[in-house]
Structures are given as structure tokens and as C-alpha cells.
Amino acid sequence: MTRADELLTQVYEELNILQASDIEKYSKINEIVSKLQIINNQESINAKTTGTISERLCELGLKTAVPEIYKKINDDWNWMADFSVLGHPFNLLISVKSFTAKERLIVSGSGNILSPTVGWGLFTDINEWTYSRVCYYLYRAFIAIYMPSNLYNQLSTDAQAVKNINGKPFLRINESFVTDLANSIQNQVLDITKF
């Protein structure tokens, strides 16, 4: 068991959701992150562990929405993304980051509209989400970026109004990740045009 798994187990026990389903756990993502922040304030959680925790939380959503058609990307390719989802007409890449996007998120995108990318994170820095910076992600073939609702609600209306290539909202809240994925499934694959 990794340190990330130990911490998540501790938090799940504190929230009384250890035996809960993946969707029930994912629905408590904000409470989970709050509990982890308390732990971090008492004793700093290292960056690698934080990254693993973020991946585990994102994967809860993937297990719920697209259990049969997602895969963890192996170490040779994880510089580009952490997960892939079988899609039509193209597969979808999912890049997971923790609290800051910095340049790591934007360079993790495929840069090719034939391999669109979704960003998913527990971002906390509003300064990383200005209108002009958000627009740069479109050039790296991002189709959506998911973030905590408390950060999203602080963004400028211009940043919130950015649309993806399909004319749909580009910035979204983590809580809608599962629903968005599930609503895009057609014939057992993710229909990228509905995302």
C-alpha cells in the first residue's frame, strides 16, 4: 500500500465512506480534499504522494463513468497524460495535476486535435486561470479542464465563457466530470463530439 493509499484510507474512514462505491466517494471529493488539507497542514504531504492522490481521485470518476474503456497510461507515455479513454472518432487523453497547473498541464496536452486532452486537477491558484491563459490550452488540443467548484466560482466571466471546439464550456467543475463522461458514451465508446 502506498502512502497515498494510506492517506486516502484514513480520510475515507474519517468520512465513513471506506466501503462506499466509487461514485459515492467521488461525490465527496470536496470533503476528501478538505480532510487531506488538514492532514497536510499538520505534516506536509510530499509532491509525489499528492500527485498519486490526485490520480486516485480522478480514477474514481473514470471507474464510475467509463469503467470498460479507460486505461492508465504506462510510464513511457505518462509525460503526455495519465489516462486514456477509448473514443470516437478519436481517443481522449486525461492529464491529472494536483494543486497548481504551472506549465506542466499545458505541455501535457497532446497538441493534436486528433488526440484531444482533458485536464483534471485540484487547482487552487486563481492567477493560473486568466482568460488569455485559458485560451492557450485550446492550442494544445485540450477539450475541457476540470477544477474544484470553489476555484471555478472565483474565475472571471470571460474565462468561464471560453468554449471548446464543440462549442461547449471549456472550464468545468470536478463534480460534473462523471456526468459529462457518461453523457458522452455512445455504442460503448466516448463520442468526443458530445464532450
* pLDDT tens series, the chain, 195 aa: 899 999 999 999 999 999 999 999 999 999 999 999 999 999 999 999 999 999 999 999 999 999 999 999 987 777 678 999 998 888 999 999 998 888 888 888 777 777 899 999 999 999 999 999 999 999 999 999 999 999 999 999 999 999 999 999 999 999 999 999 999 998 888 888 888
> For position 51, what pLDDT does the model report?
93
Which pLDDT value is given to residue 58? 98
- 140 vs 94: CA distance, rounded Å: 13
Residues 6+ apart with CB under 8 A from 115: 90, 91, 93, 141
- 168 alpha-carbon distance from chain centroid: 17
pLDDT at res. 109: 76
pLDDT at 38: 94
In the chain, DSSP finds a helix count (H) and a strand count (E) of 9, 9
- Give the pLDDT of residue 110: 76
Question: Do the beta carbons of residue 181 and residue 79 sit within 8 Å?
Answer: no
pLDDT for residue 49: 94
Say if CB 159 and CB 130 are below 8 A apart: yes
Between CA 105 and CA 180 the distance in angstroms is: 21
Say what the alpha-carbon torsion angle 70, 74, 76, 80 is, to the nearest 10 degrees.
40
